[in-house]
């Protein structure tokens, strides 16, 4: 594929809502998982709330009242990403800049609040802003309004692979010539009582309520589910030639993209990891490199029984003996699982790892599962001079993305 330049990044996360704070927490092995008072009394009362998020940085109080929390995340991270990219008014024609922001659930806070009002006070008390605050595509629309971007725009949703698909579609639009610059990523804000109760009913979440910081433990034999978190990330993607022409600081390069579907089960991954294998192979082929050239994988690594062992199996099928030489880690051990915001945030983490030559650890990996026998960089960050890394994201419904990233000199 034609290389795509990454020139800006903005984040909201349980470890910090600026890129440097996020990175400092990651390499120190910090956890962003906490007890949440609003969840007290539920089967699960822990999660990863956004840290350092101040919507008033970019939004007025009136704006905040009229925007669901997930849209606030999108605008906050998006404007930070654009500021960091050095884009100015007139850098590109407005019709050559697009926005794609995804979310798994959209405006969950708004939906829960308004359904409660409907039942308690009747239909006439439901807010007329319910629909525009709740719909998934409103996040991309609101960010586009702030940027004056009139190129391709949409919301995408594929559960935990959402941010990966947003970036993949954005990159393909640039390659197709439909845009010169795309602002793309994923966000999620579902640390709500109903959402937590629904995921808990599936037995998907860790119930380690008494030890929040130890609850997310990918690849560990004692893992008991993932930990819900909120936030996400937005990235500025540009046509490589045009980014160089304008003298942009190119943070990393999207080299290859792989997308697939399991076509197997509503929530369980294929037992042989077939979809994951297809996505990883396609990304490597698209990048025009060999599997042996990949140095690091930021795994989907959810801390669930099925995902971690099946993802390990899929990695071994794709990489063969090289799988045992790879560094593989799950940043979800520290951030929790941001659902639709996960892939965007973890792409930022991959870029930071590439640029700093340092692999974030998998914390809480105390007793490895025998079925998970790769080098998961347990508990302490490791130095690694890497040229290429991969970000895996696999969603409910069996929808998968893998993205290969390289240094600007790759």
Between the alpha carbon of residue 265 and those of residues 97, 340, 342, 395, 397, the distances in Å are 37, 19, 21, 11, 6
337 carries an active-site annotation:
yes
Listed in sequence order, the DSSP H helices in 204-304 are: 240-245, 274-287
Number of neighbouring beta carbons within 10 Å of residue 121: 10
Between the alpha carbon of residue 268 and those of residues 272, 345, 399, the distances in Å are 11, 23, 11
CB 343 within 8 A of CB 279: no
66 carries an active-site annotation:
no
Q: Which of 300, 350, 372, 389 is flagged as catalytic?
A: 300
Q: Which of 134, 160, 270, 389 is flagged as catalytic?
A: 160
Sign, Cα dihedral of 348, 354, 356, 361: positive
CB 255 within 8 A of CB 288: yes
C-alpha closest to that of 96 among 237, 217, 298, 233: 237
| CA–CA gap between residue 365 and residue 191 (Å, rounded) | 25
Identify any residues that bridge with 391 across adjacent strands, giving them in sequence order.
298, 403
CB 47 within 8 A of CB 37: no
SS3 308: helix
Dihedral (C-alpha) 212, 192, 332, 387: value to the nearest 10 degrees? -150
Q: Label residue 313 left, alpha or beta by phi (over 0 means left) and psi (-120 to 50 means alpha).
A: alpha
CB 351 within 8 A of CB 251: yes
300 carries an active-site annotation:
yes
| CA–CA gap between residue 47 and residue 36 (Å, rounded) | 7
Q: Which of 134, 165, 270, 337 is flagged as catalytic?
A: 337
Phi, psi of 228 (to 5 degrees): -70, 140
| CA–CA gap between residue 75 and residue 185 (Å, rounded) | 11
Residues annotated as catalytic are: 160, 300, 337
């Amino acid at each position: 594929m034609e290389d795509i330049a990454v020139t800006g990044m903005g984040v909201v996360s349980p470890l910090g809502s600026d890129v440097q704070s996020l990175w400092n927490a990651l390499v120190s092995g910090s956890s962003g998982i906490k007890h949440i008072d609003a969840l007290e009394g539920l089967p699960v009362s822990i999660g990863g709330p956004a840290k350092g998020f101040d919507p008033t940085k970019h939004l007025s109080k009136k704006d905040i009242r009229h925007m669901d929390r997930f849209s606030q995340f999108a605008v906050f991270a998006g404007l930070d990403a654009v500021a960091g990219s050095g884009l100015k008014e007139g850098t590109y024609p407005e019709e050559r800049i697009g926005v794609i922001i995804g979310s798994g659930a959209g405006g969950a806070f708004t939906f829960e609040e308004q359904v409660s009002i409907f039942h308690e006070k009747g239909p006439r008390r439901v807010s007329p802003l319910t629909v525009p605050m709740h719909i998934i595509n409103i996040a991309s629309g609101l960010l586009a309004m702030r940027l004056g971007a009139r190129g391709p725009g949409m919301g995408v949703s594929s559960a935990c692979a959402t941010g990966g698909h947003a970036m993949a579609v954005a990159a393909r639009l640039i390659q197709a010539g439909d845009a010169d610059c795309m602002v793309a990523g994923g966000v999620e804000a579902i640390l709500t009582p109903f959402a937590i109760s629904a995921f808990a009913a599936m037995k998907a979440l860790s119930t380690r309520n008494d030890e929040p910081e130890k609850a997310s433990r990918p690849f560990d034999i004692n893992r008991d589910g993932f930990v819900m978190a909120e936030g996400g990330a937005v990235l500025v993607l540009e046509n490589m030639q045009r980014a160089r022409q304008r003298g942009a600081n190119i943070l990393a390069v999207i080299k290859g993209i792989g997308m697939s579907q399991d076509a197997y089960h509503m929530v369980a991954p294929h037992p042989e990891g077939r979809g994951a294998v297809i996505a990883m192979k396609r990304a490597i082929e698209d990048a025009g490199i060999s599997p042996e050239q990949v140095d690091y994988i930021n795994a989907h690594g959810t801390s669930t029984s099925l995902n971690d062992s099946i993802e390990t199996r899929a990695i071994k099928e794709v990489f063969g003996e090289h799988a045992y030489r790879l560094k593989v880690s799950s940043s979800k051990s520290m951030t929790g699982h941001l659902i639709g915001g996960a892939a965007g945030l973890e792409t930022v983490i991959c870029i930071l790892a590439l640029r700093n030559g340092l692999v974030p650890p998998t914390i809480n990996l105390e007793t490895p599962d025998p079925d998970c026998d790769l080098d998961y960089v347990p508990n302490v960050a490791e130095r690694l001079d890497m040229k290429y890394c991969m970000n895996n994201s696999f969603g409910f419904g069996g929808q998968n993305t893998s993205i290969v990233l390289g240094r600007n000199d790759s």
